[in-house]
């Protein structure tokens, strides 16, 4: 005898007892589920949808559940991760293929990141190392030691590299020093 997996069509509709169990879980855990999903999704509407889906799945679940909150949190987490993965698959990473409002609010950030990475790739190794170390919060002395120069030259190098990234990506204002040197006003 072969075992058939249970699909939604095979399951009976939840009865009154099931709905009472779900209502009790809803009152006790809905806010925690939505908050848990929000940590992954960063979208309150989607987080609420995930919490509702988890509770609906709980209504149709047959069999004992020892810890309903843990079970619901796992279902909500899995559904939130599935949504993130689906969005990631839908969103292109090449700046030329990203349209405004494509893939939601993340599209602009993805474009900025892609352009910044392209700008970093175009910079010489020492400059790139200095920029990355500065972005990580490393001290000027540590950066100078790593790239083999003194701290004053390192600060100038990082400042010029940041200016070049701003120029390449078209974002940010030029610094006062470089704007005046180039004949622009700020």
Domain containing residue 150: CATH number: 1.10.10
Q: What's the token pair of residue 126?
A: 């020492």
Q: What single DSSP character describes residue 93? A: -
- pLDDT the model gives residue 97: 55
Instruction: Please tell me whether residues 85 and 101 are part of one structural domain.
Output: no
Cβ neighbors of 42 (< 8 A, separation 6 or more) are: none
Instruction: Please tell me whether residues 85 and 106 are part of one structural domain.
Output: no
CB 112 within 8 A of CB 102: no
In a domain, 45, yes or no: yes
SS3 state at 49: helix
CB 155 within 8 A of CB 164: no
In a domain, 4, yes or no: no
In a domain, 184, yes or no: no
Kindly tell me the sign of the dihedral angle through the C-alpha atoms of 41, 44, 46, 52. positive
Dihedral angle at the C-alpha atoms of 102, 47, 19, 58, nearest 10 degrees? 90
Instruction: Please tell me whether residues 113 and 137 are part of one structural domain.
Output: yes
- 184 vs 64, residue with greater confidence: 64
Among 90, 125, 152, the domain boundary falls at 90
The CATH number that applies at residue 44 is 1.10.1740
Looking at the chain, list the stretches that DSSP marks H as alpha helix, in order from N- to C-terminal side. 16-41, 44-60, 68-90, 106-122, 125-135, 140-147, 151-169, 176-181
Instruction: Please tell me whether residues 106 and 163 are part of one structural domain.
Output: yes
pLDDT in tens, 130-175: 887 888 788 888 888 888 889 899 888 888 888 877 777 666 655 5
In a domain, 186, yes or no: no
Asked whether the predicted pLDDT for residue 103 surpasses 70, the reply is: no
Alpha carbon of residue 160 to chain centroid:
30
Instruction: Please tell me whether residues 111 and 146 are part of one structural domain.
Output: yes
Domain that holds residue 134: 95-173
Mean pLDDT computed over every residue of the chain: 76
pLDDT in tens, 43-59: 889 999 999 999 989 88
Q: What's the token pair of residue 89?
A: 């698959």
If you write DSSP's letter for every residue of 145-156 in order, what string do you get? HHHTS-HHHHHH
Among 90, 109, 126, the domain boundary falls at 90
- 122 vs 158, residue with greater confidence: 158
CB 97 within 8 A of CB 58: no
- pLDDT the model gives residue 33: 92
In a domain, 9, yes or no: no
Instruction: Please tell me whether residues 147 and 124 are part of one structural domain.
Output: yes
Q: How many domains does the chain have?
A: 2
Q: What single DSSP character describes residue 97? A: G
CB 67 within 8 A of CB 58: no
Among 90, 124, 152, the domain boundary falls at 90
What is the average per-residue pLDDT within 29-41?
90
């Amino acid at each position: 005898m072969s075992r058939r997996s249970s699909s939604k069509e095979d399951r009976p509709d939840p009865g009154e007892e099931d709905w009472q169990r779900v209502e009790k879980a809803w009152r006790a855990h809905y806010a925690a589920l939505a908050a848990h999903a929000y940590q992954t999704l960063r979208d309150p509407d989607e987080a609420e949808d995930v919490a509702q889906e988890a509770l609906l799945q709980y209504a149709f679940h047959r069999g004992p559940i020892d810890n309903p909150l843990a079970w619901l949190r796992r279902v909500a987490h899995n559904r939130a991760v599935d949504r993130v993965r689906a969005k990631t698959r839908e969103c292109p990473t090449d700046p030329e293929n990203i349209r405004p409002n494509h893939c939601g609010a993340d599209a602009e950030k993805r474009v900025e990141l892609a352009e910044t990475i392209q700008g970093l790739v175009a910079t010489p190794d020492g400059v790139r190392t200095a920029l990355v170390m500065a972005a990580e919060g490393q001290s000027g002395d540590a950066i100078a030691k790593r790239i083999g120069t003194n701290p004053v030259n390192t600060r100038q190098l990082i400042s010029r590299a940041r200016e070049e990234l701003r120029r390449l990506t078209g974002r940010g204002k030029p610094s006062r020093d470089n704007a005046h040197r180039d004949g622009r006003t700020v």
